[in-house]
């Protein structure tokens, strides 16, 4: 999987300000809902929050990967946000997060879901990539850095 298959410049936001965990998920929901016919932001938000209730998707090292399955989704869709200031996200290391990659997959996409999630998590193990993503200044730059991996 290549990130440009699931991510586009319109699905990236750099240096988002004044957010909380719920607001981050709301922003991601809005970005993704715009890409799926017949789905509104609340549908995506509810699905992502339901998954969060099972356990935080904050991986540690300032990274979160909220993800869910959605019946109306017909392909894997991702959204990437960097935050101006880290926020508490109940991450496994107890530290706040400042990079968020949301992932929505078709409801029946078990294999796609696991594969995409694993590949994205692997990308964020690259400290140099994370450093560069954190220091981008606009949405397009964030997108370009992400897909260069």
pTM: 0.93
> Nearest Cα to 64, choosing from 92, 39, 26, 29?
92
Q: What digits encode the pLDDT tens for the residues 112-144?
A: 667 788 888 889 999 999 999 999 999 999 999
> What structural domains and CATH numbers belong to the chain?
3-147 (3.40.930.10)
- Residue 82 pairs in a beta bridge with 99
Task: Say which of 2, 67, 113, 135 is annotated catalytic.
Answer: 67
Query: From the CB of residue 145, how many other CB atoms can be counted at a distance below 10 Å?
Result: 19
Percent with pLDDT over 70 in the chain: 97
Active-site residue 67, yes or no?
yes
Tokens representing 127 are: 């400290």
* Confidence (pLDDT) at 1: 63
Which of the two residues, 107 and 45, has the higher pLDDT score?
A: 45
Which of the two residues, 108 and 103, has the higher pLDDT score?
A: 103
Residue 95 has pLDDT above 70, yes or no: yes
Buried b (16+ CB within 10 A) or exposed e, 23-49: ebbbbbbbbbbebbeebebebbbebbb
Q: What digits encode the pLDDT tens for the residues 47-84?
A: 999 999 999 999 999 999 999 999 999 899 999 999 99
Residue 86, classified by CB atoms within 10 Å of its CB into exposed (0-12), middle (13-18) or buried (19+), is middle
What's the whole-number mean pLDDT along residues 103-116?
79
Residue 109 has pLDDT above 80, yes or no: no
Q: Which residues contact 25 (CB under 8 A, 6 or more apart)?
A: 45, 48, 49, 52, 66, 102
């Amino acid at each position: 999987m290549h990130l440009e298959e699931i991510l586009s410049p319109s699905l990236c936001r750099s240096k988002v300000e004044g957010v909380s965990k719920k607001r981050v998920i709301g922003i991601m929901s809005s970005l993704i809902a715009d890409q799926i016919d017949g789905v509104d932001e609340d549908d995506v938000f509810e699905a992502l929050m339901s998954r969060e209730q099972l356990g935080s998707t904050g991986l540690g090292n300032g990274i979160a990967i909220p993800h869910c399955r959605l019946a109306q989704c017909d392909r894997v869709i991702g959204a990437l946000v960097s935050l101006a200031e880290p926020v508490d996200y109940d991450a496994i290391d107890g530290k706040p997060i400042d990079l968020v990659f949301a992932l929505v997959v078709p409801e029946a996409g078990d294999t796609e879901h696991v594969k995409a999630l694993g590949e994205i998590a692997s990308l964020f193990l690259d400290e140099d990539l994370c450093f560069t993503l954190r220091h981008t200044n606009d949405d397009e730059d964030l997108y370009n850095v992400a897909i260069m991996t």
